[in-house]
Amino acid sequence: DSLALRLIDEANDRMEGFFLVEKSVPESFLPCDFHLLDQSLEWIDQNHLLAGNRFCELGSGFGVATMLAALRGLEAVGIEIKPALAERARVLAEDFEISARFYTGSFLSRDIMSISDSMPETKYVESVESDVYEEIGLELNDFDLLFAFPWPGEYEFFEAVFEASAADGALLLTYNGREGMNLVRKA
């Protein structure tokens, strides 16, 4: 799809510009392979793996995954804790006239916050009190496909959040750097 390709190119350009001036980006930051992500979304769709039509990107950054899901007809939501990144995602979506929605806050629900002590350690996931799900009007277990791009060593954390919060039948798609994409279903 040419719109998806143009979106990916523009997003990569904007991210590169942002990270050139942003001083708080960890040196281990690595961008997602959005082409591979788009292929994965297509594969999920072609194989009829979704139980419904709702997509949520956990830690959405510039929101490219959310927008790619919206382009595929999903009701797509991105949650980002950093207001500057959520705003850039909103602007990018507006510029491409994509009906994705972005919210600023923690993707960790209050329920998860209460059990977070028993979860695997994270270095980059910020867990602040947030009522972002009230603002969205949905809970994490209302989404059929969750996407996350865990930092190295944090995949287990996202899987634990998924197991604790997602509905039965929901999918978790993660981009794991050199290992590529990983897809699991909650049974």
| Phi, then psi, of 96 in degrees rounded to 5 | -100, 5
**Element (H or E) spanning 111, and its range?**
helix 110-115
**pLDDT in 10s for each residue of the chain, 187 residues:** 699 999 999 999 999 888 788 766 655 566 799 999 999 999 999 999 999 999 999 999 999 999 999 999 999 999 999 899 999 999 999 999 999 999 999 888 766 655 555 555 555 555 555 679 999 999 999 999 999 998 877 888 889 889 989 999 999 999 998 889 999 999 9
Classify residue 142 by its DSSP letter. Answer: G
Tell me how many degrees the CA angle 135-54-88 measures, rounded to the nearest 5. Answer: 60
Per-residue model confidence (pLDDT) at position 108? 83
Residue type, 94: E
Alpha-carbon distance values, 59 to 3, 79, 151, 175 (Å): 23, 6, 11, 12
The token pair that represents 170 in the structure block: 């929901």
Q: Write the CB contacts of 34 (distance below 8 Å, at least 6 apart in sequence).
A: 8, 11, 12, 64, 65, 68
Per-residue model confidence (pLDDT) at position 130? 66
Question: What pTM was computed for the model?
Answer: 0.89
CA 8 to CA 16: how far, in whole Å? 12
44, 145 contact by CB (below 8 A): yes
Selection from 92, 82, 158 nearest residue 120 by Cα: 158
